Structure 1
Amino acid sequence: MTTPCFHCGSACPDPAEFTIQYREHTEPACCAGCKAVADTILASGLESYYAQRTESASRTEPLPKEIREQLQHYDDALLQSDFVHHISDDIREAALILEGITCAACIWLNEQHLSQLKGVISVSINYSTHRARVRWDDQQVKLTTILQHITAIGYRAHPYDHERNEAQWQSQRKSALLRLWVAGLSMMQVMMFVVPMYMAPDGEIEAVWLSMMHWGSALLTLPVVLYSCWPFYQNSWRELKHGRASMDLPVSIGVIAAFCASTYSLITGHGEIYFDSVSMFVFLLLGGRYLEFKARRRAGAAAEMLVKLIPAFAHQLEEDQTLRETPVHRLAVGDRILSKAGETIAVDGIVLEGSSEVNEAMLSGESRPISKQSGSQVIAGSMNLISPLTIEVKSVGHDTRLGSMVRLLDQSLQQKPRLAQLADWVAGWFVVALLIIAALCYLYWHLHDPIHALPYTVAVLVISCPCALSLATPAALTAVTGHLAQLGVLVTRGNCVENLASVTDIVFDKTGTLTFGEPRVAQLIPFNCSSTHALHIANLLEQQSEHPIAKAFKSSDTTIATESCSKIVKEFKNHPGGGITGTIDNAQYWLGSAGFILGELGHEIPTSPTQDAIGSTIYLADQQQVLAAYILSDQIRPEAYNLVKQLTNQRYRLHLVSGDELRIVRHVAKQLGIEHYQASSTPEAKVTYIRQLQAQGRQVLMLGDGVNDAPVLALANVSIAMGGGVDIAQAAGDMILLNNQLNALPHAVELAKRCRKIIRQNLAWALSYNLAALPVALLGWVTPWLASLGMALSSLLVMANALRLLRNKKPQKTE
């Protein structure tokens, strides 16, 4: 005879060799490792862990020798440089992955246990990703001690490793998908047998064929019961051992009871058979679990994608001026690196030599390239556009500005959806009530009519199966997700639709969201030549350049047509930070800023009364005079005007928050009619702006496209990333505008409101159905097969109501 281990649940002999003293009781332990861990937990005053947990801990085995040796070296500064952030001289922060987490109580235990360690300042663990952020005083406690402290209570911590974490997620995904596939295949095959039996009149199918189809259904349902439902059984058993019940328990009882009753009826030839109901609601439940799994994976991947923006290697410049490929995490403050044209800068630093232009749009929101020369500061993740730069390293990895953005995003993603918490609370009470009623039903009929006790109890479990209740929300979300996809809006997190329906304020980023995100020719001012000639010469010169400004002249939607020409530009030269020069038909031309023209030629820069557009101005000149001026600006998307008008009519409060300078932001806000705006906003300033709105009780929707928007996208109540934005913004966003069409936003908001209404209708119906069906089943008026039909019809009604969200209904405007 064996008894379960008090700590891990594994079998141990009776009497047990090892014991644990818990609240004046002696509990068995399977091994010395589990005893040691349990004694440590209890000695720390954390015995509440055993009352709170919903699943048993993993079995604690001795650490391998190589792991113990590794723990001794984690205080090495070079090893820590890749995953430890220096907050100040003594304060450190590390990103770790915890192994052995099985439930929310494990999170509580680790946080409480580490908080008791002298020198540990804060501990935050994300349940979805099992990622921990630990901050400590290095003068009082070392990282090695923290890792050993975690090991002492039966868990393992190691520096965050993307490949290791990815492999773990992929293994879980494949397992969940295989169980879903088995249930779906079984459901389809069983229905092939069942439908003819339902459709055919009594006696039309011969008994031998009827028996064969029933046995076929039983064999096809067996993999569902033994394999697909295994997670339900495991969770139910763990919960029962600790006196808890959740949605998995009635599912497990219903599946087992329905299958056993059907098998009994098949063998004895008496009673009803309902294998189709078993495979059907198992498939639907597993489908919902798989969608939830994918949503959690998407949320946890956002910060990882941001880290990938920094290259892994850099060109380190040695004392003898030779270049050596060096891992970025091995660089130290004061080292020199060479950033070549077209490469991503790997560190925060100061330019020592060279002159170039850098695109910081992904980090600052500024759409125009920024000139860099000796003494200029550069930031990790920005793109060097024109020529090589020699850079002195000032900060690396977690100390860079991009590293601080990763931490902001990580903190924002800790929030848990309210809808999931409410559903868990309702389901918990519903499950307890259902189990009590089913037990009383069996007891009553066993005393009065033992033959019908089991069928009636199965009917109660089946007809009141929480299938419709569990489908009420995901069915509506699935339908609205499909409709939003048709509109060009991709939903990446399931809870965002509910949040979108409650939005009161909408915050827009400017560059790449309300504007195109690239310079275009807004105005051409000819001085001493025709407009056609001026644009023609500029186009020829810019065709030789890869500078972002060149796209303004190559754009197909330029309002002034250029003539087709095959002339060749000779003696072309790029002047970083100034402009370009070239010879066309033996005439030399200069194209660039006013300072460049003045410095190269000394020409006086003319002015014009029409020169009033907001944007950058560049000039075209020859050896004699200035020929023309071109005003370049980031143009507002045409659909942005209609978007703002519709949202204003729907009584939303609109905000514009951008990294651009005040005059540009004010101009865009005035053009669109947006009353609230803020300019020169860093990522941290945007986060502060959102938090201030939320502190006022506002529900905030954020639209953005750049990496600098990722933390604020994650912080907002609901966020939408532009489809043309970078991957991290899309990962942090709850939704993505795949085609960048802003016109879809008002439709999406109205659709979210309809979805919330239908979710409430579905929940009301599911609960009403269960309350009405229970008395009927308790009285024995419903046989198991009729109960299965009632359960199926209830689920179909929920699905049909959700499918109304697929209708192309125009949003209603509030006047």
Structure 2
Amino acid sequence: MSSCFHCNLPVPPGSHWQVTVDAVVQPMCCPGCAAVAQSIVDNGFSDYYRSREGFAATATQDGLIPPELKLYDLPYLQDDTGADASSADAIFLVDGIRCAACVWLIERRLARLPGVQAVNMNATTERLQVSWDRQRCKPSDILTSLREIGYIAYPYDPVRHGAQLDRARKTLFRQLFIAGLSMMQVMMYVLPTYMADAGSMDADIGSLMQWASLLLTLPALLYSAQPFFRGAWVNLKSRTLGMDVPVALGIGAAFIGSVVATVRGTGEVYFDSITMFIFLLLCSRYLELAARRKAASALNTLQHALPASAWAMPGYPDDRTLMLMAASQLREGDVILVRPGEAIAADGIILEGDSAVDLSLLTGESRALHRDVGARLPGGAVNATQPIVVRVTQAARDSTLSILVKLIERAGQGKPQLALWADRVAAWFVGALLLFALVVFCFWQWVDSSRAWPIAIAVLVVSCPCALSLATPTALAAATDRLVRRGILIVRPHVLETLHRATHIIFDKTGTLTAGKPVLRHLETLGGRSRDWCLQLAATLEKSSAHPLGLAIVAAADGVAGIVELAVDAVRHDAGRGLEATIDGLQYRLGSAAFVAELVGTAPTDLAPAEVTPVYLGSSNGWLARFDLADGLRTDARDVIRYFQASGRTVILLSGDQQTVTQTVADELGIATALGESLPDQKLAYVQALQRDGAIVAMVGDGINDAAVLSAADVSFAMGGGTALAQLHADCVLLSGVLASLSEVDVTAAQTLAVIRQNLWWATLYNVIAIPAAALGWLNPWMTGIGMSVSSAVVVLNALRLRRAVRLPVSTQDDGTAIRPLPVASAG
């Protein structure tokens, strides 16, 4: 008798259960083992069978854990993303999230699990982020604990998540359809009783219609209302009060009261109200599910943009044979071929070819940008036109897009203070509501017992803690989705709330208000030659140089019409000083004043201003020109400064550059306070001093050299860029590299907080008016069902308005960076 390949138990005679593992058909003892083994193979975990040291333990059907969870315990399948080697971090998908109480219950339960260090549940994306101690906890412990409180969870997989959302949508639609059908059929039987005058309908006919309504209500009650009863049962088992508790009590109480009245032949029946309430509430949930999918659309788009495979060229350059390999296996130094229309699997440098590259997913830049040999490409960019050969500089898991996806996933986990407040209020609200409904029932039982039951049901049904708990997270999710689509990544949950309250906006200079690279600010002719001729000659000399100052001169010449190259002979570079060459038999030099003076024979008489870097041009016949280069201001810098000044904020320039240079930039931009020559610790001390005086400080820097001050500020922003994403310490990243995005964040913050306040006011006002009205007997159960559904729908629809963005006009260069246009034409 053979043994089961999975658990090693004997295989019964005649068993037909088999699974193919690594191209070998293996016997299984039962359908359970076959299902587990097949799932292991289907999920790509066949290595489990090659590396295991024993066989799987047998278990009862009730105790089975999905195999993915047990496999996640294997050391080589866990990422060391925690604070140290003993910690691990993972993102899981949780099925069955309904309201803020679900989030509170999950976080509370896992926080008590030994070894769990941090828990964050995002109700909008249904993602759970957990950090744990490897020595005290395993992923299967976490997910088993979730199963015990009624939630099914799996290791995060974008394909599985998409399928899960699709299944949830289809199931909810079926429940909605059945509820709607039951409602219409019940209405057909109830309407005649409403229209008939007293005594005009025969008692037998009325009783028949009631029994027919009862039978037609059963499908809606037993199938469509399952989510409410299941959620209420989970809440009660875990001794918490969620939104489903009053809903389930209201539906159950109305149905029981109606059944009793139908059997007795006397009393009010509410079958029409029950089916209508179930239908309307499911409509609200269907709308909420659609809103959650839209709010998570930006992240889903990025997830699907991560390529699963790449065409590797292991023998490059001698052998150009292609080999298809998994993107996750790419390592630094590998060479890949990227065909037109394909996404680049990892960060790299172009070795061969030139093409247009679509960076819209990473930066929000809508135009495809030209890139040629030597250009760096971020992982996730799309090759638009020609095949290119790329050398990988970062593993796929460390590519720009992968890091961006991780940051976005982490961004949605935390909660700002407004959301935490709403969650606490909603949790207490349900408890207070149940107590209030009991008091109302007792009161009406004393005043008019015939009205006690329907009024208590109306109180339970009319309340809407759902609207209260959805008010903040739905608005934040919609705003975050809007900003991600515009190339703005919110990493911390408090960004919008804190920026809106900020009193001081502090800017770094280099790389923030300026482009971070030199541009030609002025050209001064020193001889008899024209400005264009001098620029032509200097650009020709610098064609072979990669120095930043030389590149700035070449770029300036590219923007001037009529520039042609000259024939250059015997180019010689003198490191740190300049270069010399011969043109038409005459020797020229381009570089520092001292270097050119050695050829000219005299010192220059016209000195450059202190805030620029001068590059001189001369020949053996004399001085020709001086090129003044400096870090160029961004074209949108002045507009951004004026925007914040107009909004009443204090704008400060804080830089490590020379005070004269810093003051010049401040004067040009209209900034009153400019502090130069500030070391990192001095910047930190300055920000902390402002905070001690009560200021709320927003810091804007390049994210590389300003880590300390960015972390210390109340809210911080960094200009994003390629692999530097992994080193950022900011709360928000302007991936587009456009400074005007900061103004857009502030506008979005104001709009988001306005929507949140509107939602909270609406939810509060609705409950303040509707609950007393129901308690006084002014509202029938069917009216309360409409009210509750409309209340939730209003909150969700109002929040979704934030997804519509007003595009700000921003001018950019070909590399996607906004830079002040070159003022060469006005130089003299």
**TM-score calculated relative to the size of structure 2:** 0.56
Q: Which amino acid aligns with 1:166?
A: P
Q: 1:564 — aligned with what?
A: 562
Q: 1:105 to 1:561 in 2, by over 3 A?
A: closer
Within 5 A, what are the aligned runs for 1:550-699? 552=552, 562-564=560-562, 567=564, 593-594=591-592, 607=604, 609=606, 611-612=608-609, 614-620=611-617, 627-648=624-645, 650-656=647-653, 665=662, 667-672=664-669, 673=671, 675=673, 698-699=695-696
- Residue equivalent to 1:386: none
Residues 63 and 638 from structure 1, CA distance in 2 versus in 1: closer, same or farther, beyond 3 angstroms? closer
Give the aligned residue type for 1:783: N
Q: 1:665 to 1:445 in 2, by over 3 A?
A: same
Return the alpha-carbon distance in structure 2 between the equivalents of residues 488 and 400 of structure 1: 17
Matches within 5 A, 1:197-208: none
Task: Kindly indicate whether the alpha-carbon contact (under 8 Å) linking 1:534 and 1:628 is maintained by their aligned counterparts in 2.
Answer: yes
Distance of aligned partners of 1:402 and 1:785 in 2 relative to their CA distance in 1, 3 Å threshold: closer
Q: Report how far residue 515 of structure 1 moved.
A: 3.1
TM-superposition CA deviations, 1:1-28 (whole Å, max 9, x none): xxxxxxxxxxxxxxxxxxxxxxxxxxxx
Task: Describe the shift of the 1:195–1:661 C-alpha distance in structure 2 as closer, same or farther (beyond 3 A).
Answer: farther
Q: CA deviation at 1:526?
A: 2.2
Structure 1: any 5+ residue segments left out of the alignment? 1-57, 116-121, 157-161, 197-201, 205-210, 319-323, 348-361, 363-377, 382-390, 810-815
Say what the alpha-carbon RMSD is for the aligned residues. 7.6
* Equivalent runs, 1:202-281 vs 2, <5 Å: 231-254=227-250, 273=272, 278-281=278-281
Q: Does 1:457 align with 2:453?
A: no
Deviations 1:484-533 (A, max 9, x none): 99999998998654433322332435455433455432111223321121
Q: Deviations over 1:344-381 (max 9, x none)?
A: 9x99xxxxxxxxxxxxxx9xxxxxxxxxxxxxxx9x99
Whether the aligned pair in 2 keeps the contact of 1:523 and 1:613 (CA below 8 Å) is no
Per-residue Cα deviation, 1:583-612 (whole angstroms, up to 9, x for no partner): 98x57897864399769x956796464622
Shift of 1:538: 4.6
CA distance in 2, matches of 1:403, 1:800: 32
Change (3 A) 1:679 1:754: same
Deviation at 1:634, TM superposition (A): 3.3
Alpha-carbon shift at residue 644 of structure 1 (Å): 2.6
Among 774, 780, 803, which residue is 2:771 paired with? 774
Deviations 1:598-633 (A, max 9, x none): 69x956796464622645544555676663333333
Change (3 A) 1:540 1:697: same
How many matched pairs? 670
Distance across 1 between alignment mates of 2:678 and 2:734: 25
Determine if contact 1:589/1:620 at 8 Å carries over to the other structure: no
Q: Which residue of 1 is the match for residue 371 of structure 2?
A: none
Taking the aligned partners of 2:569 and 2:92, their CA distance within structure 1 comes to 58
Change (3 A) 1:553 1:464: same
Structure 1 residue 422, shift from structure 2 partner: 0.6
Give the Å deviation of 1:243.
Answer: 1.8
1:781 alignment partner AA: W
CA shift in 2, pair 1:621/1:92, >3 Å: farther
Residues 525 and 611 in structure 1, CA contact (< 8 A), matched pair in contact too? no
CA distance in 1, matches of 2:620, 2:224: 80
Question: Structure 1 pair 786/485, CA: closer, same or farther in 2 (3 Å)?
Answer: same
Shift of residue 245, structure 1, vs aligned partner: 0.2
Stretch deviating more after TM superposition (287-296 or 218-227): 218-227
> Deviations along 1:760-785, whole A, 9 cap, x unmatched?
46534543443343333223232234
Alignment of 1:506 onto 2:511: no
Q: Which residue of 2 aligns with 1:166?
A: 158
Q: Partner of 2:767: helix, strand, or coil?
A: helix
State whether residues 73 and 138 of structure 2, in contact with CA within 8 Å, keep that contact through their aligned partners in structure 1.
Answer: no
The 3-state SS of whatever aligns with 1:501 is helix
Q: Distance in 1 between matches of 2:72 and 2:805?
A: 60
Query: 1:426: Cα distance to partner?
Result: 0.9
Against the structure 1 CA distance between its residues 597 and 642, is the aligned structure 2 distance closer, same or farther, given a 3 Å change threshold?
Answer: same
- Kept in 2: contact 1:687–1:711 (CA 8 A): yes
Distance 1:482 1:434, change over 3 A: same
Cα distance, 1:61–1:488 mapped onto 2, change above 3 Å: closer
Does the C-alpha gap of structure 1 residues 152 and 785 become closer, same or farther in structure 2, counting only changes over 3 Å?
A: closer
Residue equivalent to 2:426: 427
Alpha-carbon spacing, 1:177–1:603, altered in 2? closer, same or farther (3 Å): farther
SS in 1 for 2:464: coil
Shift of 1:427: 0.9
Counterpart of 2:237 in structure 1: which amino acid? Answer: K
Cα displacement (A) at 1:423 = 0.6
In structure 2, stretches of 5+ residues that fail to align are 1-60, 97-102, 149-153, 189-193, 197-205, 317-321, 338-343, 348-361, 363-375, 380-390, 807-828
After superposition, give the CA deviation of every residue in 1:304-353 in whole Å (9 maximum; x if it has no partner). 999x99x99999999xxxxx999999999xx999999xxx9x99xxxxxx
Instruction: Spell out, residue by residue over 1:114-167, the C-alpha distance to the aligned partner (whole angstroms, 9 max, x if none).
Output: 55xxxxxx944544454455678xxxx7x9x978987998999xxxxx995434
1:532 matched to 2:532? The reply is: yes
| DSSP 3-state at the match of 2:501 | coil
On the 8 A contact 2:281/2:788 being kept in 1, the answer is no
Indicate if the aligned counterparts of 2:82 and 2:131 stay in contact, CA closer than 8 A.
no
Q: Secondary structure at the match of 2:498?
A: helix
Partner residue, 2:50 = none
Cα distance between partner residues in 1 of 2:181 and 2:614: 70
Asked if the contact 1:186–1:221 (Cα under 8 Å) also holds between the matched residues in 2, the reply is: no
Take 2:686 and 2:497, find their aligned partners in 1: how far apart are those partners? Answer: 23
Q: How does 1:734-753 map to 2 (within 5 A)?
A: 740=738, 742=740, 745=743, 749=746, 752=749
Distance 1:664 1:181, change over 3 A: farther
1:251 shift after superposition: 3.9
Say if 1:483 and 1:806, in contact at 8 Å, map to a contact too: yes
Aligned-pair CA distance for 1:92: 5.7
Q: What amino acid is the match of 2:624?
A: L
Q: Would the aligned equivalents of 1:505 and 1:654 in 2 still touch at CA under 8 Å?
A: yes
What does the per-residue CA deviation read over 1:719-762, in whole Å, with 9 as the maximum and x for residues that have no partner?
Answer: 667799999599986686979473982x8647755764674465
Please tell me whether the aligned partners of residues 232 and 242 of structure 2 are also in contact (alpha carbons under 8 angstroms): yes
Partners of 2:689 and 2:475 lie apart in 1 by 32
Q: Which moved more, 1:586-595 or 1:640-649?
A: 586-595
How big is the shift at 1:93? 5.3
Distance 1:437 1:402, change over 3 A: closer
Q: Cα–Cα, structure 1 residues 509 and 759, in superposed 2: closer, same or farther, change >3 Å?
A: same
SS in 1 for 2:760: helix
| Distance change in 2, residues 1:617/1:465 (3 Å) | same
**SS in structure 2 of the partner of residue 763 of structure 1:** helix
CA distance in 2, matches of 1:191, 1:300: 36
CA contact under 8 A between 2:590 and 2:596: conserved in structure 1?
Answer: no
Change (3 A) 1:264 1:793: farther
In the aligned structure 2, how far is the partner of 1:583 from the partner of 1:720? 49
Q: Which amino acid aligns with 1:631?
A: D
